[in-house]
Structure 1
């Protein structure tokens, strides 16, 4: 299947400091592309992969699960670690969940995390019924484009494949158990008005991780996809300042590849 316009992966070869960006459930790299380009323009090496089953049609996602999505970001992280002296991992929604597991598994190899509205469990979709419902109903209404900014749209699916949702629910439970293994510096930015992931998820994550260098920032003007919303520039600036504090050498120019 051809990739939806705008949903292509993005990479930029920059300096010795790298950033892996992880997009959300049923979303695509398009939701993080402005963030990736902001970092690339400041000389960072950037990887923004397209997760398996995403960016085409929801039926393609139906045959994938968390093991596929995690394997993709793990592979991208390892590639960055081979060429960069320091690597940060940023994530939106499920991308935040993926980032947290990478942090738990890779330890000090990851210099820091920036999480935007990270997910800790599956909400709605009659989550408790997913183990059975997924065999009876293939999909539910989509969760894309929860954005306050008028005219801003997310490239994502208009349906949620329930097999994939069930897999994500299992993944959230797995990651919740692993949260105490997360020790890296963390910046968490979350929206009080989020119609996909409630603030309780951020509170749970912050209560479970072992990190001591933690900053929590409220995104008062944005909904769930805050990286395409009113607070986008604030997210980009805060994340770049975070990198600069932990990796002062960040910022040599390079070349860009998209698609």
Structure 2
């Protein structure tokens, strides 16, 4: 096992975590599989600038190498999110959770386990089901260590996600195990939900977003279609729509003052 110092030196400059804002309403941001905080950084900064306290951690195994990520699993990623959530709760009166792709499934799992401690969810192309071609990872992990990744699925040709060029299969199999748990308990999610879905998504199928919408118990479900963006919509043409509508959602559903 590598020391934390050695591991920290290997972290990409674009994968550094971000914490900002000083308000009494917190927002925890969860990035996606093989991605990094970079994919949510602009969204997190816009939220902090609006007066919210934000946390955008780097999930274990991300921002270093796909080989290192293969040594981690969903329990590691979830533990990271839960620690950050508890830290925000110690500083805030309310905490919302936002997630992209696998970050969306982590956010849902947190809401399932922590109930009304989660004030609301803001999800962008959340993943709880794979495309059929990707469903064999649990078997493939015994034969291959990685496959070509579908990272940086962005319509804007001038933007790069800086995700891994290869997808670690063992880690992908672990993610799919988490999805089983998330799907089984979606009825426990009762908080307000803002769901963004791209009209064209090459990573997460429409069935995943439909399943979430149809199985949560939330009284408030706001669904928005992002017409010009691919999977990583938080960095794509419709990102400003995400930022604006999520701030509107926070303003409506937060009960505490943003500022100290």
Give the CA deviation at 1:3.
Answer: 1.0
Give the CA deviation at 1:54.
Answer: 0.3
Partner of 1:170: 177
* Aligned mate of 2:196, from 180, 189, 192: 189
Is 2:54 aligned against 1:46? yes
* Aligned mate of 1:140, from 136, 140, 147: 147
Written as runs of structure 1 = structure 2, the 5 A alignment for 1:199-210 is: 199-210=206-217
* Aligned mate of 1:240, from 244, 247, 258: 247
Partner of 1:257: none
Which structure carries more relative contact order (alpha carbon 8 Å, separation 6+)? 1
Partner of 2:229: 222
Mapped to 2, the partners of 1:77 and 1:182 lie a distance apart of 16
Is 2:77 aligned against 1:69? yes
Mapped to 2, the partners of 1:225 and 1:97 lie a distance apart of 15
Decide which moves more: 45-54 or 4-13: 4-13
Give unmatched runs, 5+ long, in structure 1: 254-259
Partner of 2:125: 117
Partner of 1:149: 156
8 Å contact kept, 1:43–1:250: no
Give the CA deviation at 1:82.
Answer: 1.0
Partner of 1:32: 40
- 1:127-175 superposed Cα distances (whole Å, 9 cap, x missing partner): 23x2332121110001210000121100210101110010011111110
Partner of 1:57: 65
8 Å contact kept, 1:122–1:172: no
1:82–1:149 CA distance, 2 compared to 1 (3 A):
same
- 1:2-48 superposed Cα distances (whole Å, 9 cap, x missing partner): 21121100001411000000000000000000000001111110000
Give the CA deviation at 1:123.
Answer: 2.7
8 Å contact kept, 2:130–2:205: no
Alignment RMSD (CA, Å): 1.2
Mapped to 2, the partners of 1:132 and 1:120 lie a distance apart of 18
Give the CA deviation at 1:124.
Answer: 5.3
Mapped to 2, the partners of 1:212 and 1:42 lie a distance apart of 26
Is 2:31 aligned against 1:4? no
Q: TM-score, normalised by structure 2?
A: 0.94
Mapped to 2, the partners of 1:232 and 1:156 lie a distance apart of 18
Decide which moves more: 1-10 or 17-26: 1-10
Partner of 1:83: 91
Give unmatched runs, 5+ long, in structure 2: 1-6
Partner of 1:108: 116
Mapped to 1, the partners of 2:207 and 2:199 lie a distance apart of 10
